[in-house]
Structure 1
């Protein structure tokens, strides 16, 4: 009987509330906060990496998530740390686990430290991407001005430009949208030069997104024209091949056998020749 009572005093894990075995006076409710079971990938679909210019994007996702659950104070310093207070310690540990699950091992190895608060980890990550800003800005700026379309479609070329501009902004050297548009036009293929001239002469100048979309539309039109021209040339070559002597129908009059006519002619010529021979043999 005592075993039954002690077993029934423990609730199932799915209820979120547990009790302590023993007397009914020692029941202690346990509350499970909903943010402790969050899948970080559903809120931050990218991974922060040292070799990708995605810090600003990751930071936007991460701060939005912390704000959604009311935890911005754990990373911006507006909440005083209280390591011995469970009401502060549990959310802080949760924010740290979100960072652990959304950054690469390389970033984590450089930013992680023992007994670290969420704010300390967040600050270490920020400083890691903002260190040595001037040397990185020089390298990124050289890459930015030397980018060209090459064999890339407009969409991929514009994406490369935007990523490099974002990386420059991360190190304190933001690129104006106007400058981004001009650099886009400067590196495109010659076949898009007419469209680039139109965009460059527009007042006001198109935004980077509008210019990229206009060039992409022109690229699609040119690709369609090339496809139509190729199909037309193929059809013309097939028609030209069918009009050659090897494709003429065998039922045409020029190809009909002439055995009967020739036989008739031979027979007629043979008959008249025989009569002339007989006339020559008769006496005068």
Structure 2
């Protein structure tokens, strides 16, 4: 009769984290020094690490729940997984950040903590530039309503990442503060609402209004061209062969 514990010990164990061949398929954001998206990047990274059972390699577990490797096999697996998570970090940050945090014989948690310190320190200073651009955004400076709204949303994410989150009401009010001629009417409707719509609802209203305004201009232009052509050639309407 075969001992079950002996049989289990001979089974090969493959950790799910080792199955990840390309971390960028799971974390599409590249963390950069200038384009501040640390909070978003960190949340995506933590979700991925948790789903692959390696979160404790970057976030210390609660006291008393630490798992200390004892056997040689456990120590080897721990070292392998730490290196794997370390590679994930390096693969999802910019070259400048990589050179900043890279140190020989460091662990994944060391790299994680250095990135946290880089982006979580001096939050107020980091908020100055996106706050200024957000507060002075003008729709006339963009090609269309969609590009304008997208830029405001990106700036709001950047402000959130430096500890200065933008509420939905402030985002919507800023969005309708300086509109083009094509969207002023719907902007007035939004501002006068007792309850402001959510950002994406207001965005859809602006885009639809702009699309309708553009179509009206195109129709008027076509009509004006036909009228001008008739004025220049008034007899052209009498040249039909059946007349």
- Normalised TM-score (structure 1): 0.71
Matched, 1:198 2:199: no
| Matched residue, 1:49 | 32
Matched, 1:75 2:95: no
CA–CA separation in structure 1 for the residues paired with 2:29 and 2:226? 49
CA–CA separation in structure 2 for the residues paired with 1:170 and 1:136? 9
Residues 206, 126 of structure 1: alpha-carbon distance in 2 compared, 3 angstrom cutoff: same
Per-residue CA deviation, residues 9-32 of structure 1 (Å, 9 max, x unaligned), is xxxxxxxxxxxxxxxxxxx98765
Per-residue CA deviation, residues 61-99 of structure 1 (Å, 9 max, x unaligned), is 211211111111111111567697123211111111111
Aligned residues of 2:31 and 2:38 also touching (Cα < 8 A): yes
- Give the 3-state SS of the residue equivalent to 1:114 in structure 2: coil
1:100 to 90, 105, 109: 90
| Matched residue, 1:38 | 21
CA–CA separation in structure 2 for the residues paired with 1:142 and 1:182? 16
Residues 243, 190 of structure 1: alpha-carbon distance in 2 compared, 3 angstrom cutoff: closer
Shift of 1:160: 1.3
Matched, 1:90 2:80: yes
CA–CA separation in structure 2 for the residues paired with 1:60 and 1:240? 66
Matched, 1:113 2:96: no
Aligned residues of 1:82 and 1:89 also touching (Cα < 8 A): no
- Normalised TM-score (structure 2): 0.81
Q: What runs of 5+ residues in structure 1 fail to find an aligned partner? A: 1-27, 252-284
CA–CA separation in structure 2 for the residues paired with 1:236 and 1:81? 85
Trace 1:237-252 onto structure 2 (pairs within 5 A).
Answer: 237-244=228-235
Choose between structure 1 and 2 for higher RCO, CA contacts under 8 A separated by at least 6 residues: 2
Larger Rg: 1
| Matched residue, 1:179 | 170
RMSD: 2.8
1:216 to 171, 195, 207: 207
Aligned length, in residue pairs: 225
Matched, 1:131 2:121: yes
CA–CA separation in structure 1 for the residues paired with 2:197 and 2:16? 46
Residues 187, 80 of structure 1: alpha-carbon distance in 2 compared, 3 angstrom cutoff: farther
Per-residue CA deviation, residues 99-145 of structure 1 (Å, 9 max, x unaligned), is 11111101111122222211111111121112221222233322221
- Give the 3-state SS of the residue equivalent to 1:150 in structure 2: helix
CA–CA separation in structure 2 for the residues paired with 1:82 and 1:49? 34
Q: What runs of 5+ residues in structure 2 fail to find an aligned partner? A: 1-9
